Amino acid sequence: MSSETIGVIGVGVLLVLLMLRVPVAFAMFLVGFLGIWIVSGWAAAMGLLASESFTLASSPELVVVPLFILMGNVASATGMSRQLYDAAYAIVGHIRGGLASATVIGCGGFAALSGSSVASALTMGKVSLAQMERFDYDKRLSTGVVAAGGTLGILIPPSTGFVIFAILTEQSIGRLFLAGVLPGLLLLTMFVATVSFICWLRPKAGPRGPKTGVGEKVRAVGGALPILLVIVLTIGGIYGGFFSPVEAAGVGAGSVILYGFVTRTLGFSALFASARDSVVTTATVMLILIAAHMINPFLALSHVPTAVGEALIGLDLPVIGTLIVILLVYMVLGCFLEGFAMLVLTLPIFFPVILSLGIDPIWFGVLVVLTLEMGLISPPVGINVFIVKSVARDVPLGDIFRGVIPFWIAMLLTLAILIAFPKLSLFLPQTMFG
């Protein structure tokens, strides 16, 4: 049996295991380890397991993962998410669909603290769904906007998706973080515009909230000021060259913890719970990365990436055409696979093709991460939809999926804009790094 055949069988087995809901890390580890054993022998498989695990675990760049996750968990524990929502609500809550727009803005702000789409959807769902129900919002709009708004967590930095992409492709985490800022703000704006369009078509879908006075607005924005300062400190520090991404993560986490203690909104028990959750999440990410470093050599040894690359180039499409084909593959896979699994499975295959075509890897990273976001609300997996369902138990799953359709279209339009105008993704990294 040829190595190419073994590689194709391995990819097929991996897809079957993932569809059977075997944890991503264990599925990739099993296929990678057994594949290397079959192709190169037991000694090679064991040697790679020992060396790659140690190399990855000792990588200083990965320190950003637990620190940014801790920052998000502590921010949630201190009530910062509520302050963000209250500030957005005070400013736009009185317009038609204002509560939904406030939810999107709150999701964007919390995304800049947590870097997690699931955390953003869960936290803002708990904060905003009851308020929208109180004002008789259409269930499809209220749940759809939370599920879609939560996806901002994987695009607006700090993003765990960008960290994983950077590690797998050996790109700069700082460049990727900055590249996600303008696309993240563009997507947030598109979501707010989508809410406004829905409420223009169906005014009863998003009634107006109560008007707030100038004093209430000032107090609400003042309450959110510490969160905004932390965001400016971390992201602005990276852009200004004052911090590396690792240092920014440490400063951000430390600032949020200090804020919690000073304002007495964070006790030692809550800090311990946040740290425990951060360790569990970090361990999951690390297991996925270690498994990725097992399956990637197997794919390379089986020459699957080379064969796929030759097939794509053989289509004789223009560069943009090849890029669109790759993104379409991500969209289809996003209906069935979890985002990190897609990154680990596909980047060893597609990334060499991207480099050979001369496509900027940072731009490609933004496009891929945005496409992964679309998978978070695509049926049948749509993990953010199920997260919202866990909060809004009385809303049928079908209604939530129907509610996210307009926002999925908005994401597709945003993707098209970013493809047409690469500078939106590359402007900030280029101004910082030259």
Nearest to 117 by CA among 87, 60, 155, 73: 155
Angle between helices 361-375 and 397-420 (to 10 degrees): 160
**Would you state the pLDDT for residue 323?**
92
Segment 43-68, tens digit of pLDDT = 888 887 777 777 777 777 778 888 88
| Predicted structure pTM score | 0.84
CB-CB contact of 121 with 150 (8 Å): yes
The fraction of the chain above a pLDDT of 90, given in percent, is 22
**Residue-wise pLDDT tens digits, 328-370:** 888 888 776 777 777 877 888 889 889 988 999 999 999 999 9
The answer to whether 35 and 6 have CB atoms below 8 angstroms apart is yes
**Average pLDDT of adjacent 10-residue blocks, the chain of 434 residues:** 80 80 80 86 80 73 82 83 81 84 86 74 80 87 91 82 86 90 93 93 84 80 83 83 84 90 89 89 79 77 74 80 90 76 81 89 95 84 81 86 94 96 92 68
Dihedral of alpha carbons 177, 180, 181, 185, sign = negative
Counting every residue written for the chain, the total comes to 434
Backbone angles phi, psi at 86, to 5 degrees: -60, -40
Q: Is 416 exposed, middle or buried (0-12, 13-18, 19+ CB in 10 A)?
A: exposed
Q: What is the pLDDT of residues 5-28, one digit of tens each?
A: 888 888 888 878 877 778 777 888
**Residue 386, token pair as written in the block:** 């199920």
| Residue whose C-alpha is closest to residue 52's, from 383, 291, 324 | 291
What's the DSSP call for residue 122?
H
- Cα separation, 100 vs 98, in Å, equals 5
Region class of 244: left (phi > 0), else alpha (psi between -120 and 50), else beta: beta
Q: How far is CA 8 from CA 19, 163, 298, 303, 305, in A?
A: 17, 28, 11, 10, 10
**Nearest in space to 97 (alpha carbons), one of 184, 186, 202:** 202
